[in-house]
């Protein structure tokens, strides 16, 4: 697998989980400004609980994530939401894209950022907001790919992350083993797109080329799984020839479509 840089690995580990996007602090009132109604209103007494009733203590509010540099906070927030979006699309769970997309598309909480980041953030925000327009699977996959291009553009400008490619999981004949290698390969291709990294893209493409589609999966998924597999088989030989971010984004979007379509077929479309 690819070892994320410290700024990503230590700060933004996601098993489709991880730290939430930072919340911008409330602005301080300007000097001489009139206090708001909420600031001047007399406190309202809470009714006393019934005798003997248990009172559940309030849970403390989550602390604002202010650690690290602006760049590190941005990476933590975006890494979590992007991975949640990708997982939802790969699983065919379109309804699960809405929350992460809304958070990802709102860049106002990031505060002041270096001007050279702005074009990439604008592109990322625009792609994320497409999920709120009820996209079909091809449109959702294309939006994910465009997010990858936006991330890659910003990373090239900022000089990171640096990715290193390790060996794929050992090949075996079980469905679980083959799917594990497919997952590893698609992750490497994503790393190649958003890193960006030529070595990661090639590693993913090579792993998919050497690993056929499991016949057991095709039998279970019926015609829809076989259709997705046929499309997948046609895409694989073209992967290593894609050199530009735009070419890779288009192919990656098509790859996500085949993954999602097959997953929905083998699960009876229940996601």
DSSP per-residue string spanning 81-141 = HHHHHHHHHHHT-GGGGHHHHHHHH--GGG-S--GGGHHHHHHHHHHHHGGGG---HHHHH
pLDDT at 74: 67
Distance of CA 262 to the CA centre of its chain: 20
pLDDT at 157: 84
User: Does 101 map to a domain?
Assistant: yes
For residue 172, what are the domain limits? 6-12+68-266
User: Does 58 map to a domain?
Assistant: no
Produce one character per residue of 40-63: b if its CB has 16 or more CB atoms within 10 Å, e if not.
Answer: eeeeeeeeeeeeeeeeeeeeeeee
Report which DSSP code applies to 15: S
pLDDT at 257: 92
Backbone angles phi, psi at 71, to 5 degrees: -65, -40
Residue 149 is encoded by which pair of tokens?
Answer: 């291009």
Whole-structure pTM value: 0.69
Alpha-carbon distances of 248 from 157, 182, 198, 240, rounded to whole Å:
19, 17, 10, 9
User: Does 17 map to a domain?
Assistant: no
pLDDT tens digits, the chain, 271 residues: what are they? 333 333 332 223 223 333 333 333 333 333 333 333 333 333 334 444 444 444 444 545 445 556 677 667 767 777 889 999 999 998 888 889 999 999 888 877 666 778 888 899 899 999 999 998 888 999 999 999 999 999 999 888 877 778 889 899 887 778 788 888 889 999 999 999 999 999 999 999 999 887 666 666 666 667 877 888 888 888 999 999 999 999 999 999 999 999 888 888 877 644 4
User: Does 50 map to a domain?
Assistant: no
Domain count across the chain? 1
User: Does 43 map to a domain?
Assistant: no
User: Does 41 map to a domain?
Assistant: no
Rounded Cα gap, residues 40 and 53, in angstroms: 32
pLDDT at 196: 94
User: Does 29 map to a domain?
Assistant: no
User: Does 174 map to a domain?
Assistant: yes
pLDDT at 188: 95
How many other C-beta atoms can be found within 10 angstroms of the C-beta atom of residue 9? 13
């Amino acid at each position: 697998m690819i070892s994320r840089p410290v700024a990503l690995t230590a700060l933004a580990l996601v098993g489709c989980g991880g730290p939430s996007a930072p919340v911008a602090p409330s602005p301080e009132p300007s000097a001489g400004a009139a206090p708001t109604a909420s600031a001047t209103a007399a406190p309202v007494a809470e009714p006393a609980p019934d005798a003997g009733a248990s009172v559940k203590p309030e849970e403390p509010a989550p602390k604002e994530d202010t650690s690290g540099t602006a760049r590190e906070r941005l990476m933590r927030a975006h890494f979590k939401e992007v991975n949640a979006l990708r997982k939802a699309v790969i699983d065919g769970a379109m309804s699960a894209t809405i929350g992460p997309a809304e958070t990802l598309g709102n860049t106002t909480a990031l505060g002041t950022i270096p001007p050279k980041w702005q074009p990439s953030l604008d592109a990322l925000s625009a792609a994320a907001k497409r999920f709120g327009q009820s996209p079909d699977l091809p449109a959702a996959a294309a939006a994910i790919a465009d997010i990858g291009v936006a991330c890659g553009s910003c990373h090239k400008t900022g000089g990171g992350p640096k990715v290193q490619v390790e060996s794929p999981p050992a090949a075996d004949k079980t469905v679980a083993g083959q799917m594990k290698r497919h997952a590893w390969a698609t992750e490497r291709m994503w790393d190649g797109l958003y890193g960006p990294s030529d070595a990661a893209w090639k590693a993913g493409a090579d792993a998919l080329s050497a690993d056929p589609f499991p016949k057991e999966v095709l039998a279970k998924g019926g015609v829809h799984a076989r259709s997705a597999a046929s499309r997948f088989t046609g895409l694989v030989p073209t992967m290593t020839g894609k050199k530009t971010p735009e070419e890779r984004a288009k192919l990656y979007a098509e790859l996500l479509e085949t993954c999602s379509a097959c997953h929905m077929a083998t699960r009876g479309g229940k996601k």
